[in-house]
Amino acid sequence: MKQTFAQRSSRSFGQLALIFIAVAALISFLFFKIAQRIKLLATVFIHKLEVACGCTQMTQLAAMHPFITAAIVILSVLIFAFIVFLVYKFVTLLMQTRKFYREHLKMAKMSLSSRLKRTIFYLGLESNVITEIKVNKPVVFCYGLVRPRICVSSGLVKILKQDELQAVLLHENQHRLSYDPLKLFVIKFFQNIFFFLPGLKTFINKYLTFSELAADEQATNNFTDRPKLARAIFKITQIEEQNTLRAGLATSFFTSTIEERVNKLADDSYLPQFKIWGRGFVFGISAVMLVVLATFIFLADSTKAFDMHNTGNCAYSEGDHSSCNLTSESVCGNTNILNQKSCEVNYSPVDK
């Protein structure tokens, strides 16, 4: 059975969601394992302050393994910086999108024009999901993350014929029903975070293209009535200058991915092609795998380094609390002050 573009769009978004979840899970796992090492190292230094005689073999860990200690400190800083980066990107994207909405919606009309009302009634759409703004330029987009709506300008209503306006509203209504603004917000947020992933841009372009073609499919009754939509696209793009801020907004614009949409309107058999595999993808995925592998090697080496201290009298155990019973000479280096001093060391269980 031939897939509709709405199905292709949903499938593309599902692929992106799986990629985001898999990468986020891997990064979270690595951060968790690194955090364990940081916690163990901190426990060692805190114990040195709490116990007067100290456990010399344990407290010399940083000096014995300076590279591992420095790496743990650096990684802890990177983890903190990454969390700050996540919050910054989320807030920035949200604020930019809301600013764009506010700038346009402050010019909203109290009631819809009679021509727009007639078109909405003819299409059977709900009037409360459409906002008309007093702008002479042709403006139309779908906005809203939780309750998506359609915004159209008075200028757009004036320059379009009745059937063209119907096609535009049906196009945007498909974006509204599919919650595309919310999907775009998720995609753009993770794109800003996982910009290093090879092939991610291709997957995103694939979703954006299928999303627009799915809306065109709805607007033209499965591409059986194309001229009205083609005329609307031509009129809007002829007047409207592309807004450079659009790349950073979680908003569905009517004039997105024009080339692919025009090709489909001109040729019913046309299907967009997306090349993911290539030299750049192979190079990028190899670089990412090397970084992940190096991190796992570091974690393994740091585990071995900590395990070295289990071979002496002063040791820690993962499953149980341990104690080290050392002589005053081996711990404090002074047999005249202490005689057979027992140094009790308790560590919380730490997974390797």
pLDDT in tens, 121-135: 999 998 899 999 998
CA distance 130 to 78: 45
For the stretch 172-196, pLDDT in tens is 999 999 999 999 999 999 988 888 8
**Among 21-25, 229-233, 235-239, 343-347, the range of highest mean pLDDT:** 21-25
- The candidate with the shortest Cα–Cα distance to 203, out of 176, 183, 178, 223, is 183
The least confident of 30-34, 157-161, 222-226 is 30-34
Query: Vertex 127, ends 121 and 132: CA angle to 5°?
Result: 110
- The candidate with the shortest Cα–Cα distance to 195, out of 23, 41, 40, is 23
Predicted confidence at residue 181, as pLDDT, reads 92
Which structure tokens are listed for 104?
């346009």
Q: Does residue 138 contact residue 156 with C-beta atoms inside 8 Å?
A: yes
Sheet holding 130-133, edge to edge: 130-133, 149-153, 140-143, 252-253
CA distance 58 to 40: 11
Q: Between these two residues, 296 and 11, which has the higher pLDDT value?
A: 11
For the stretch 80-89, pLDDT in tens is 888 999 999 9
Going by C-beta distance under 8 Å and a sequence separation of 6 or more, which residues neighbour residue 181?
Answer: 142, 143, 144, 145, 148, 175, 250, 251, 252
- The candidate with the shortest Cα–Cα distance to 163, out of 227, 234, 250, 209, is 227
The least confident of 72-76, 115-119, 257-261 is 257-261
CA distance 102 to 105: 5
Q: β-strand 149-153 against 130-133: which pairing, if any?
A: parallel
Q: Does residue 230 contact residue 262 with C-beta atoms inside 8 Å?
A: yes
Predicted confidence at residue 21, as pLDDT, reads 93
Q: Does residue 153 contact residue 133 with C-beta atoms inside 8 Å?
A: yes
